[in-house]
Amino acid sequence: MTQQVHVPPFAVIPGVQVHSVLAGQEQRTVDLVEKAYRLHGEGETVNPPSYFLRFPDRPASRIIALPASIGGDNRVEGLKWISSFPGNVESGVPRASAVLVLNDYSTGYPFACLESSIISAARTAASAALAADRLSGERGRPRRIGFIGTGLIARHIHMYLAGTGWQFDEIGVHDLSAEHARSFSSYLEQSGSEARVTVHEGAEELIRESDLVVFATVASAPHVVDPEWFAHHPVVLNVSLRDLGPEVLLASANFVDDVEHVLKADTSPHLVEQCTGSREFIDGTLYEVLTGKVRPPVDRTVIFSPFGLGVLDLAVGKHVYDMIQELGELQVVDGFFHEVDRYGRVDAAARCG
């Protein structure tokens, strides 16, 4: 007898619902991301290379496809489709927009499409907060933080650090746009932080006065190349991936989310590999730090360069879907899949009617 297979209904989850699930749940999201990293390190994921759609007439813009599959006790497949159009910023529109499609593990049918710029920012910030905590290690949590780049991602990273118990005495801010720097400073002051906020005109001063440095820019090539700026050995979250020159990485201890993924697309680690012909500069992955296989040094600058894994989006997106479903608030598109029988047969109820 042929086994009956259920085709799941198709739901659309808008940003307002995504926000309602994730807002104020920073620690829970960090825990989801950590679990996903552990599954990835244990071989319970499929995370092929990201695919870049580029445009000859708009070289600064791109749209990226991140297909992935995650196992464990909440298996799901899916695809994040995220655009990056830096020109949007000049018009006051966020640089990135995204959707996330979730596919059923048993049938492969898509069962949800979620607004995903919030999910993407949340998983990026959660990853950064997790890495900052674990890579600080024996140093203890830094009290002086500096943000280079002050957009949506920087705001989310601060939100996730604050939401997981971080407290700062000083927060440095630097952006090529004075207006953006002021806006970010206003956000920090309104966030309830008691830290002293300083806007820096240049990156050097900010780096030298910070023990935790966050790069969250749209830089396409290195602009920070002097290792001496890091002589005090801070922890660096190289989230935007292309700000740091090879000289800085070669003078530091380097950790990544996935070696194969990060060594491409002219990221800072990729440039080091091209210069040296070697991957020996990479000291370990975040998974190896989480499991105690590798311990971050306290006497060297520590840099975390995360390429961004699609499995993180799946973990957070599936959590959002489950919460909305549990609340009974899924917005299902009736009849999205018109024919769900291979032979075009009507359903049993119609045959008996």
Angstrom distance (rounded) from CA 271 to CA 266: 6
In tens, the pLDDT along 129-140 reads 999 999 998 889
Note whether 257 and 335 are same-domain residues: no
Is residue 5 assigned to a domain?
Answer: no
Is residue 235 assigned to a domain?
Answer: yes
Note whether 93 and 27 are same-domain residues: yes
In contact, 321 and 100? CB cutoff 8 Å? no
Res 36 pLDDT > 80:
yes
> What is each CA distance from 84 to 66, 87, 89, 204, 220, in whole angstroms?
13, 9, 10, 27, 12
Q: What is the pLDDT of residue 5?
A: 66
Res 293 pLDDT > 60:
yes
Q: In terms of residue numbers, what domain contains 200?
A: 125-305
Note whether 297 and 194 are same-domain residues: yes
Note whether 254 and 132 are same-domain residues: yes
Q: What is the pLDDT of residue 33?
A: 98
| Total number of domains in the chain | 2
Note whether 172 and 296 are same-domain residues: yes
What mean pLDDT value characterizes the chain? 93
In tens, the pLDDT along 150-173 reads 999 999 999 999 999 999 999 999
Note whether 234 and 112 are same-domain residues: no
Question: What's the distance, Cα to Cα, between the start and end of the chain in Å?
Answer: 24
> Which residue is it, tokens 């190349």?
225
Q: What is the secondary structure of 120-148 as a DSSP string?
A: HHHHHHHHHHHHHHHHHGGG---SEEEEE
- For residue 180, give the H/E element and its range: helix 178-190
Note whether 167 and 283 are same-domain residues: yes
Is residue 219 assigned to a domain?
Answer: yes
Q: What is the pLDDT of residue 352?
A: 36
- Name the burial class of residue 186, with classes exposed (0-12), middle (13-18) and buried (19+) by CB atoms within 10 angstroms of its CB: exposed
Q: What is the pLDDT of residue 8?
A: 87
In tens, the pLDDT along 176-211 reads 999 999 999 999 999 988 999 999 999 999 999 999
Average pLDDT value for residue range 260-286: 97
Angstrom distance (rounded) from CA 146 to CA 186: 15
Q: How confident is the model at residue 350 (pLDDT cuts 50, 70, 90)?
A: very low
Q: What is the pLDDT of residue 330?
A: 96
In contact, 143 and 167? CB cutoff 8 Å? yes
DSSP collapsed to 3 states, 26-80: HHHHHHHHHHHHHHHHCCCEECCCCEEEECCCCCCCEEEEEEEEECCCCCEEEEE
In tens, the pLDDT along 69-101 reads 999 988 999 999 999 998 888 888 888 899 999
Region class of 194: left (phi > 0), else alpha (psi between -120 and 50), else beta: alpha
> What is each CA distance from 318 to 45, 79, 108, 113, 287, in whole angstroms?
15, 12, 15, 11, 21
In tens, the pLDDT along 234-269 reads 999 999 999 999 999 999 999 999 999 999 989 999
Note whether 60 and 136 are same-domain residues: no
Is residue 1 assigned to a domain?
Answer: no
Going by C-alpha positions, the residue among 51, 121, 50, 34 that lies closest to residue 309 is: 50
Q: State whether residue 281 is helix, strand or coil.
A: coil
The domain spanning residue 20 has which CATH number? 3.30.1780.10
Note whether 140 and 17 are same-domain residues: no
Note whether 134 and 66 are same-domain residues: no
> In the listed set 269, 284, 305, which residue is the last one of a domain according to the structure?
305
Tokens coding 148:
């280079």
DSSP state of 3: P
Is residue 198 assigned to a domain?
Answer: yes
Rg (CA), the chain: 22
Q: What is the pLDDT of residue 1?
A: 40
Tokens coding 75:
């298996």
Q: How confident is the model at residue 347 (pLDDT cuts 50, 70, 90)?
A: low
Note whether 100 and 199 are same-domain residues: no
Is residue 217 assigned to a domain?
Answer: yes
> What is each CA distance from 282 to 16, 49, 220, 261, 270, in whole angstroms?
40, 19, 21, 13, 11
The domain spanning residue 199 has which CATH number? 3.40.50.720
Going by C-alpha positions, the residue among 207, 153, 199, 156 that lies closest to residue 178 is: 199
Average pLDDT value for residue range 320-331: 97
Sign of CA dihedral 304, 320, 105, 44: positive
Q: What is the secondary structure of 206-238 as a DSSP string?
A: HHHT-SEEEE----SS--B--GGGGTT--EEEE
Q: State whether residue 193 is helix, strand or coil.
A: coil
In contact, 69 and 165? CB cutoff 8 Å? no
Is residue 6 assigned to a domain?
Answer: no
Question: What type of residue sits at position 307?
Answer: F
In contact, 61 and 86? CB cutoff 8 Å? yes
Average pLDDT value for residue range 44-73: 94
Q: How confident is the model at residue 344 (pLDDT cuts 50, 70, 90)?
A: low
Is residue 4 assigned to a domain?
Answer: no
Q: What percentage of the chain carries pLDDT values higher than 70? A: 95
Note whether 99 and 217 are same-domain residues: no
Res 338 pLDDT > 80:
no
Residues 6+ apart with CB under 8 A from 57: none
